Structure 1
Amino acid sequence: MTSERDPRALVAEVLTATDVDRDHVPRLLDLLDAGDRQVRLGAATALCVVADEHPGDVASLVGQLAARADESLAATLALEYVADRYPQVVEDRLDQWASTVEPTHRVDRSTPTRGGSDGRDVGRTRIAGEGADDDGRQVYTDDGDDEKQPQADDEDGNTIGQRPQAADAEWRSLVEYESRFDRLSILAPRERRRYGDTYRTLGVVDETEYAVGLRLLDSPAEGDGAFAAQLATRLEEWAAVADVDNVVTLYDWKADPRLWLATEYTAETLADQGRFPPAEAAWHAERLAAAVSTLHERGVVHAGIDADAVAYYGNVIEEGDRQPPLLDNLGLLSVYRHQFDPAQFLDPRYAAPEYYQRRFGRIDHATDIYGLGAVCYRLFTGKAPYTGAFDAVRDEVLSSGPPDPSAVADVPPAVDDIVGKAMARRKLARYETAAHLRQELRSLRGDDA
């Protein structure tokens, strides 16, 4: 029987046959989870051959691969190949497949993309930046436009940007009681940032002082147990990598009395910075790539790297002092994008193709490499990879890609190749690991960097 055949012999038969038997598909799908890596990858390649030989079976095959993609890299590789060969068939089949799975699973596999024909999103979140506003405005800017917005009252009746009122003092005392800090002293008015409000705070533990960012995170309007559970998992992962260089430290967090975090305090982001000299840009980029490489080795995916996710302490004594870049908000986007407009938490100009269309694959380690490439673009040129209204940005991300860095700034020629590879539309064309990207960035630093 086919099920008893040696896996390698089956794979070899499919790869060399002139008339490929589609009846081998169930067994090949099972082999995607085989313990032998060569068998897994061979099965993925064989399924690609079956798809080429039997295009009429692609839609059925896509559903089987999508169901395994979250747990199987081999399935993801096969799905990416099929999506590249038959993009419309795959997109349509994934739409249909997403609408039939259970809602809890549907959330895990969704990516921002177009809605259903009835105006609702079918098993997905809303497109980043898409909504009722159709005036063709620019997507995110790096020039501090948010600071020009009027202050607004939050649900507790406190005004964002003003000194904390009584309600703040009440929850702060509860946070102080629940946290690892002996004392917490708020030093400045609260600031509206991504994911919620932040207070610049002095935290004390055993008479040692810490510069703390006390953050009150946004939550869905009505209680959502799945949201809370998924967020808890991401926060546990973030807290577990406190020893990783160039990552904002998460000191503590709790869900009561409100969802709050205590992190290192940072005052600025890359979006607040000007253009760096090439050697300096390479230094920052290499540090970030090293951090991402370590995170990936520990099984942590950031999932939302852009200019606002790269933080700086902002406490330089003299202008020109070097500040280390820090990755902030680890893993939060993977939870928040299913409950809120993703454009609140990821600048569309830095978003990988897989955030726009499912056929480019799931959000994973390769997405972080794309994000690093986009951040490198910003570091070397002082500009975001794309400009314009949301629709124009999305179309360029999915088709032509950004201009070469050398076309917008005076940069070493190698920057074009490094950024181009990191930001490749297809995951298989990107750097295999963040460590590989780091190695190439190191060559740009020069002797004095």
Structure 2
Amino acid sequence: MIPPNPTPDELLTPALTDPESFDAARTTRLVAQLGHDDHEIRRAASWATRFVIVETPSLADHCTGQFRRVLRDADAQSDVLRTLSVIGEYNPEAVTEIINGAIEEETIDQLVGRYIVAGYRPPEFGSDGTVISDEGDETDPEVEAIDTEADKGLHEPDDRESGSGVEPDSPIGRPPSDPPSKPPRLDRSLTAYEPVVSETKIGGGLDVVVQVSVDGREFTGTRRRSEAIDGADYDAFRSAVNRWCRIDDHDTVATVIDHGTRPTPWLITERSVTGSLADRNTPLSPPEARWVLCRIADALSYAHATGVLHGGLHPGAVTFVEAVEEADTWKYPRIDDWQLGNLFSSTDSHTSVPRRYAAPEHVSPDRFGGVDTASDMYGAGAIGYELLTGRPPARDSGEIRPVTAVAPDVPEELSTTLIKCLRTAKMERYASAAALKRDLVAAGDR
């Protein structure tokens, strides 16, 4: 049931974790919340409605009247149109009926209706059919500066740029038959994890590489430890670790090996001996890059369905594990750093994404909104861009330069998929990681 005065979490949580439980009546009540007086409730109802109808598109058929009613509310229109622009991809007939009815009632004008029915995904529309720029449709100077830095060569120098003379990882290979084995969960004291290299101070934390021995098998891990005893937020630490542990049974999510709070919060997580994507020679071949992105999309789908957001995806957050039992197989990706950076550092984890990989909302949240699942879509696009070009996303006159303009051998369909992930406006990105994977798979079938 939807309570009479719901909170955003009360709307979002069931839609994220159990969208199949929504029937026609419950979905109609959810759509009604798009007309709530509270903007945060309307925003949560918009996301929740999308999750539910993307899962069961036929439910939109039962809500056409309710959608038209909330469209009559001028304050709610932008949230309703955003919602319709997404679900139109899954049930265009129902959305067309809603929009045609609204045009007949002169609730919206014909131009707005044509854009929505055609599948255009603006961040916001006003009643006059113009795009409201403060939701991120226009290029923001701060966002443009992200890629200006990269284009001027201000990002960290390495040997991966075109013409550097360093060969990329071999395109020869195939996916492993099975994911590499993962380390088990342990319950030891902090002193059991001795560093194999000296401690490195990062922000307000201490990170070291450790070796973990279990039944004669050796695993490499990263030990993170808070430096401060006073002021440590133990409840936030436990909550963050519990969220990560809920999803680390997925093959593409790095394992939480151990954690504790004495003497300060600390965490041991799986680490690859070959390092992260930031340490690899790129570009990879298009088939391998697409395979890696499909694994990442799978992990994001699993996490988002469980109510877990990454929020800071970038190449340094993706490690690669070798399947040592099989020769000539591709390294398996594992996603690390699930919203724990700010608990070990004085820097907020959402803004600690390297600037050249940051989504617009990381740079300017007041203008582009908060970090959410759409931010993970941007992060997946940035990772894909790096995999295929060997460099961060670059802009031309405010627009992301197509992958094919940097790496001509990349298939056009794959380039188009990544550019959709990297749109400035959130609502022009993929509505879900499952939708992203569908296009990745389709790009390989062409």
Question: TM-score, normalization: structure 2?
Answer: 0.59
2:243–2:308 CA contact under 8 A, matched in 1: yes
**Partners of 2:38 and 2:27 in 1: CA distance:** 12
Indicate whether 1:265 and 2:271 are aligned: yes
2:71–2:77 CA contact under 8 A, matched in 1: no
Give how far 1:194 is off: 8.3
Give how far 1:334 is off: 6.8
**Partners of 2:247 and 2:276 in 1: CA distance:** 21
**Partners of 1:442 and 1:423 in 2: CA distance:** 18
**Partners of 2:64 and 2:38 in 1: CA distance:** 14
Work out which of the residue numbers 398, 410, 413 in structure 2 matches 1:400.
398
Work out which of the residue numbers 277, 284, 287 in structure 1 matches 2:292.
284
Give how far 1:429 is off: 1.7
Give how far 1:386 is off: 2.9
Q: Tell me the amino acid that sits aligned with residue 178 of structure 1.
A: S
Where 2:208 maps in the other structure, the secondary structure is strand
Indicate whether 1:419 and 2:418 are aligned: yes
Aligned residue in 1 for 2:208: 199
Indicate whether 1:350 and 2:373 are aligned: no
Aligned residue in 1 for 2:237: 231
Indicate whether 1:81 and 2:124 are aligned: yes
When residues 333 and 260 of structure 1 are mapped into structure 2, their CA distance, relative to the original with a 3 A threshold, is closer
**Partners of 2:72 and 2:343 in 1: CA distance:** 36
Aligned residue in 2 for 1:251: 257
Give how far 1:7 is off: 12
**Partners of 2:231 and 2:66 in 1: CA distance:** 43
**Partners of 2:202 and 2:390 in 1: CA distance:** 22
1:278–1:380 CA contact under 8 A, matched in 2: yes
**Partners of 1:29 and 1:184 in 2: CA distance:** 44
Give how far 1:189 is off: 3.7
When residues 208 and 404 of structure 1 are mapped into structure 2, their CA distance, relative to the original with a 3 A threshold, is same
When residues 272 and 12 of structure 1 are mapped into structure 2, their CA distance, relative to the original with a 3 A threshold, is closer
Give how far 1:222 is off: 5.7
**Partners of 1:290 and 1:209 in 2: CA distance:** 28
**Partners of 2:76 and 2:248 in 1: CA distance:** 50
Q: Tell me the amino acid that sits aligned with residue 351 of structure 1.
A: A
Q: Tell me the amino acid that sits aligned with residue 141 of structure 1.
A: E
Where 2:332 maps in the other structure, the secondary structure is coil
1:270–1:307 CA contact under 8 A, matched in 2: yes
Alignment of 1:281-360 (within 5 A): 281-313=289-321, 321-333=329-341, 339-340=346-347, 345-355=352-362, 356-360=364-368
Indicate whether 1:141 and 2:179 are aligned: no
Where 1:406 maps in the other structure, the secondary structure is helix
Give how far 1:238 is off: 0.8
1:200–1:214 CA contact under 8 A, matched in 2: yes
Indicate whether 1:365 and 2:380 are aligned: no
**Partners of 1:277 and 1:318 in 2: CA distance:** 19
Aligned residue in 2 for 1:62: none
When residues 9 and 294 of structure 1 are mapped into structure 2, their CA distance, relative to the original with a 3 A threshold, is closer
1:212–1:262 CA contact under 8 A, matched in 2: no
2:430–2:436 CA contact under 8 A, matched in 1: yes
Where 2:304 maps in the other structure, the secondary structure is helix
2:297–2:433 CA contact under 8 A, matched in 1: yes
Give how far 1:210 is off: 3.8
Give how far 1:232 is off: 2.4
Aligned residues: 331
Q: Tell me the amino acid that sits aligned with residue 246 of structure 1.
A: T
Alignment of 1:57-76 (within 5 A): none
Q: Tell me the amino acid that sits aligned with residue 384 of structure 1.
A: P
**Partners of 1:298 and 1:418 in 2: CA distance:** 25
Q: Deviation per CA, 1:59-88: give whole Å up to 9, x if none.
A: xxxxxxxxxxxxxxxxxxxx9536994445
Q: Tell me the amino acid that sits aligned with residue 300 of structure 1.
A: V
Q: Considering only aligned residues, what root-mean-square deviation do their CA atoms show, in Å?
A: 5.1
Alignment of 1:148-159 (within 5 A): none
Indicate whether 1:178 and 2:189 are aligned: yes
Where 2:319 maps in the other structure, the secondary structure is strand
When residues 54 and 238 of structure 1 are mapped into structure 2, their CA distance, relative to the original with a 3 A threshold, is closer
Where 2:258 maps in the other structure, the secondary structure is strand
When residues 279 and 142 of structure 1 are mapped into structure 2, their CA distance, relative to the original with a 3 A threshold, is farther
Give how far 1:318 is off: 10
Where 2:399 maps in the other structure, the secondary structure is coil
Unaligned runs of 5+ in 2: 5-24, 53-59, 80-121, 161-185
2:212–2:219 CA contact under 8 A, matched in 1: yes
**Partners of 2:270 and 2:259 in 1: CA distance:** 12
Q: Tell me the amino acid that sits aligned with residue 267 of structure 2.
A: L
**Partners of 1:142 and 1:208 in 2: CA distance:** 40
Question: TM-score, normalization: structure 1?
Answer: 0.58
Where 2:124 maps in the other structure, the secondary structure is helix
Q: Deviation per CA, 1:244-277: give whole Å up to 9, x if none.
A: 0111101111122232211112231111222101
When residues 42 and 27 of structure 1 are mapped into structure 2, their CA distance, relative to the original with a 3 A threshold, is farther
Aligned residue in 2 for 1:375: 383
Aligned residue in 2 for 1:440: 439
**Partners of 2:245 and 2:196 in 1: CA distance:** 24
Unaligned runs of 5+ in 1: 16-23, 59-78, 92-112, 115-126, 146-174, 388-395
When residues 319 and 379 of structure 1 are mapped into structure 2, their CA distance, relative to the original with a 3 A threshold, is farther
Give how far 1:382 is off: 1.3
**Partners of 2:64 and 2:313 in 1: CA distance:** 29
Aligned residue in 2 for 1:187: 196
Where 1:81 maps in the other structure, the secondary structure is coil
Give how far 1:367 is off: 0.9
